[in-house]
Structure 1
Amino acid sequence: MTTAREVIQRADAEDVELIRLLFLNNSGVPRGRVVDAEGLPGALDDGVNLTHAMQSFNALDRLVPGGKYGPAGEVRVVPDPETFTVLPYDDRAAAMIADLHDLDGRPWSAGPRAQLRRYLGHLRADGYVPRTAFESEYYLVDETEDGERVPFDESACFGTAGMRSAHDVILDTVDALKDQGMGLAVYYPEYGPGQQELVVEHADGVTAADNHVLYKETVAAVAADHGLDASFRPKPFPQLPGTGCHIHFSLWRDGENAFYDPDAEGRYGLSETGRQFVAGVLDHARALTALTAPTVESYDRIAPGMWSSAYTCWGRDNREAVVRVPSADAGDAEATTRIEYKPADNTANPYLALFGLLAAGMDGIERGLEPGEPLDTDPDALDADERADRGIERLPATLAEAVDALEADDAIRSAFGDDLFESYVEVKRSEWEQSTDEDGEWSSDYLSRGF
């Protein structure tokens, strides 16, 4: 365990002057406060002040009218010493991920990271530890002389030309990530021109979400150093493929993968626990989209034929399913048995996305749910009666539908607690209301500010 004293000593040894204390509120936009080296001991001891209204800010950077948290009241931004990292892309700078605490020094009941950690503590008491990787995609974006934002190259999916054109910026990105302890798991040019898929190695517990925050900061900073922008929006170019952030997930208990069935044949050996977890995710899938696809633009991407899933089904390597079970590696089946949750993108708060998936899956385990038979075809190719017979539903088509489904989900509410749950619902409902016109048409250009 890293102590406050060790953080202070390392900051001094590395000649760090500015330390960013990073947190994510309900909007999913990365935010923070900055302290200098002189103020670091006080920040580690008692945090720094922050209006609690920040938890009622939406992605348009507007306070929810009459929201749960208004102008009167404060919380503390308390950095976690374990997350201290020197930033390789900015001179004499470091960052720490922070929790939000109330003024009595307790984890705030509406703080996303603090409440995820509380829930993980309950799971750990039962021997469970989640292992997660966020499979992030993004566009590298350039600007023309006329000010038009365009993909920085014309590369094809998996194209070697894209590997060459992006080589310098990707190499610098990988180096910067490794300098912060995040190893490369996967890289290739994605479906859209200028679109990248760069994934860091999985991590346990809250660390996976922490890494995702630092990953996005790093990608954006290195791109800027190369005169480019990194766009994490779900659909930054309407005519081009969308950008997702699929979530790969396994659940470990007492050092063993609870999703792995050692007696199964083939590469898709999912245990009874794993099937129950999948069933829970499917049972709550419509509500989960409000957490994992949480902006109006997300629903331009979640549609049939987009490989982002549009229906509540699961399948073995079925990329049109909400839950895909990837084939495990023959040489290490236990370590690589996992599920992939597909209707997620980079506008999600990773703490809340992980929290929601855990709550849904554990509900499936506790209730002994069964997911039915895996689907080995495109669910959109089935007719409506076939889908109904299999219990397959369409995911929400708008953020408004998703928020309605979430608001009605008692299991996720119970896991989150009323303060976090209710503040999240009102923030996302306000985003819908403030970004749509009277005909229900939405505008999402505001997402470029935060994503």
Structure 2
Amino acid sequence: MTRTNAIDERCTDGKVDLVRLLFVTQSGAVRAHAVDSSKVESAVQTGVTISELVQTYNALGRRDKSGQFDAAGEVRLQPDPTTFQVLPYAERTGAMLCNIETLDGDPWPIDARSSLRALERDLADAGLSPNVAFESEFHLFKQGPNEEVQRVDERGAYATASTRETHETILAIVDALKAQDISVEKYYPEYAAGKHEIVTGHRSGLRAVDEYVLLRETVDSVARDHGYQSTFVPKPFDNSTNGCHIHVSLWDDGNAMYDPEQKELSQTGRQFIAGILEHAPGLCALTAPTVNSYARLRPQIGAAAFVCWGRENREALVRVPAPDSGDPEGSTRIEFRAADNTANPYVALLGLLAAGLDGVERDLEPPEPVTVDPGNLSEKERTDRGVNRLPRTLGQALDALESDATLRDALGADLCKAYLGVKRSHWEAFTRSANSWKRDRLRSIY
């Protein structure tokens, strides 16, 4: 049975009439075209034509009119049939993740999913496979009759009382994720009112990102069905943040980040960390890519603000979590903490892998791990230890990305140019009107 026939059967069995073709633009927003289920075979075989311009809109929905794309020019959404899902939260609807191809059928250089897939294939040729998980934080809230935001609760981190008001909603989200074969490992209420975190299982690189996109769609859709709004914005309210921590390990015959003799992080793992630290400023432009992101990346609020690493250190840019005692090899990994949900996740993982692999290829050695909150070190102590501040603005991060040859090469010239253009337009829109950081607008997008 062909994959298309299998999808046809699932559409029939699931009474699916519409199939959403999902993709993520440079802005990090999830977009979709939908086709009737009778057109799925045609969509898989020949793609669905869309305008190139869709990739030029920034997070505020404004087109980068000075970019390389104009009104003329089309590409094709090419659905990946292996990603087909019947959506449990949308009546008579399915979904597939898409690559974007040129009209000639070649990978479009602007498409980050295609670029990540190519990197994953290169790693496979070298005998390596990335194992990845995204830890997603989000807020549930209600909009009052006068458009005021009504927070769900004020009870605080991990409080059992914080689980009660949204219990049915969270259960519905978990059930919907499992119905899409997305494993859920943990859930807990986070530090701020209405803030929640769902931890999904580790997957191969591309599949992990695809599942993360489906998670974002699922949370938003189920929340609306239950009378809430959701937001993944990095700084959605005062005294609140949302992160998206990215966990990565590299595997060959075993976990390349684990040293079985020393029973700890391997030399490869240390080199991978060194590469991330080396490229941290430019990497932030890929993982924290909105103006609002830099309201989150501040010292001592549970988000990274300094370029350092540490074992079990939640204020470090790179944390090495404590391994599970029953499976130290399987659980040894790094966690990158300066990422948030406004990122295009394909771009973010592409940059993170490229930075870490550069450290491995160049045999870089990281500095000594930081064992305290770096915000409690004096400025002199941080200077002596090489603990530098991350970019404080999107503008600084974009300048760093533009100067980072390794990250530019990883993206490729076309994707890098398009990405920088869209993000520069976002930064310029903010600098022209720096009054509210457009939080209300961003909450409606992420």
TM-score normalised by L of structure 2: 0.97
CA contact (8 A) 1:296 1:444 kept: no
Is 1:359–1:411's contact at 8 Å kept on the other side of the alignment?
Answer: yes
In the alignment, what sits opposite 2:256?
258
Other structure's SS at 2:388 match: coil
TM-superposed CA distance for 1:449, in Å, is 2.6
1:388 CA displacement:
2.0
Structure 1, residues 345-382: CA drift from partner, whole Å, max 9, x if none?
Answer: 11111101110000000000000000111000111222
Deviation at 1:434, TM superposition (A): 1.1
Shift of 1:23: 0.1
Question: What does 1:135-154 correspond to in 2, within 5 Å?
Answer: 135-154=135-154
DSSP 3-state at the match of 2:22 = strand
The aligned residue for residue 350 of structure 1 is 345
Amino acid at match of 1:65: K
* 1:406 aligns with one of 401, 405, 424: 401
2:267 corresponds to: 272
Match of 1:248 in 2: 247
Match of 2:43 in 1: 43
Partner of 2:5: 5
Amino acid corresponding to residue 11 of structure 1 in structure 2: C
Q: Report the counterpart of residue 329 of structure 1 in structure 2.
A: 324
User: 1:315 maps to which residue?
Assistant: 310
Report the CA distance between 1:176 and its aligned residue.
0.5
Q: Spell out, residue by residue over 1:157-188, the C-alpha distance to the aligned partner (whole angstroms, 9 max, x if none).
A: 10000122221001111110000001111111
Q: Secondary structure at the match of 1:344?
A: coil
Q: d(CA) in 1 for partners of 2:433 and 2:342?
A: 25
SS at match of 1:98: strand
Deviates more, 1:441-450 or 1:392-401: 441-450
Query: Structure 1: how far apart are the matches of 2:224 and 2:433?
Result: 38
Instruction: Trace 1:211-226 onto structure 2 (pairs within 5 A).
Output: 211-226=211-226
Cα distance in 1, alignment partners of residues 216 and 194 from structure 2 = 17
> After alignment, is 10-19 or 339-348 more displaced?
10-19
Q: Unmatched 5+ residue regions in structure 2?
A: none
The one-letter code matched in structure 1 to 2:249 is S
The one-letter code matched in structure 2 to 1:243 is: N
Give the % identical residues.
49
The Cα of 1:228 is off from its aligned counterpart by 0.4
Alignment of 1:20-419 (within 5 A): 20-238=20-238, 240-254=239-253, 256-265=254-263, 269-419=264-414
Structure 1 stretches of 4+ moved >6 Å: 438-441
Question: SS of 1:450's equivalent?
Answer: coil
- 1:274-306 per-position Cα deviation (integer Å, ceiling 9, x unaligned): 000000000001111111111111101000011
Between the aligned partners of 1:94 and 1:398, the Cα distance in structure 2 is 39
Change (3 A) 1:281 1:449: same
Indicate the larger mover: 383-392 or 369-378.
383-392
Aligned residues: 446
- After superposition, give the CA deviation of every residue in 1:69-102 in whole Å (9 maximum; x if it has no partner): 2211110001000000000011110000000000
Rounded to whole Å, the distance in 2 between the matches of 1:442 and 1:189 is: 26
Amino acid at match of 1:106: D
Q: 1:200/1:438 Cα in 2 relative to 1: closer, same or farther (>3 Å)?
A: closer
RMSD of aligned Cα (Å): 1.4
Which deviates more, 158-167 or 318-327?
158-167
Correspondence 1:421 to 2:381? no
Q: Secondary structure at the match of 1:277?
A: helix
Aligned residues of 2:236 and 2:439 also touching (Cα < 8 A): no
